[in-house]
Amino acid sequence: MQSYPDTCPCQINPTAEMTDAPLSYQDCCQPYHDAFYNDEIDKADGIKVETAERLMRTRYSAFALVKSEYIIKTTVPAQQALLDINAIESWAKETDWAGLEIVEHTPKLGKRHAQVEFKAYFNAKDNAGDLTVKVQAHHELSTFVKVKDKANKDTRWYFLDPTVAMTVSQKQPCICGSGEKFKRCCGDFI
């Protein structure tokens, strides 16, 4: 049985001058992860990720806790088969995660997109591979898209991965399934 941290990984912010009462993993990201791993994500409306920021937090915690399948399944479905689960798992395991800072959440960019600017902190290693006390940050502006499942008319937030190599023309239907042309939808963000 895997043990989990008392404080949720997404609640740790090494740059915060003072911390409020951070949520435990059990009260923060664990319900989302458990619903996914217990195949309840489609059945449990209460478990659905409500915002792009919440999805960003659950994905960060999934990296910190090495939940690679969650990372893949919360990426836009058209990109999922193109992701390398072994590389994701290896990177997650090799990184000494130190915390997350949400810099800005822009919840509405057009009809179905949102962005989250964040800094994912990690402890840097020196050239010999030994951990140092220097904390570094991976600073990113991530785009998320709300996708409607036509089968059950449910909508769900997904990460739009700009690093996935895809052959997409500007005039073809968008990879998110919106029915709009790629250039008028997700093409603006990747």
pLDDT, tens digit (0-9, with 9 covering 90-100), for 117-170: 999 999 876 666 555 567 889 999 999 999 987 666 678 999 999 988 888 888
pLDDT, tens digit (0-9, with 9 covering 90-100), for 30-66: 999 988 777 644 444 446 889 999 999 999 999 999 9
The phi-psi region of residue 91 (left if phi > 0; otherwise alpha if psi is between -120 and 50; otherwise beta) is alpha
**What average pLDDT does the segment 102-131 reach?**
85
Compute the distance between CA of residue 125 and CA of residue 37 in angstroms, rounded to an integer: 32
Compute the distance between CA of residue 160 and CA of residue 78 in angstroms, rounded to an integer: 10
Residue ranges per structural domain of the chain: 9-161
> Which DSSP state fits 77?
H
Which CATH class for the 9-161 domain?
Answer: alpha beta
pLDDT, tens digit (0-9, with 9 covering 90-100), for 72-84: 999 999 999 999 9
The pTM of the full predicted model, rounded to 2 decimals, is: 0.87
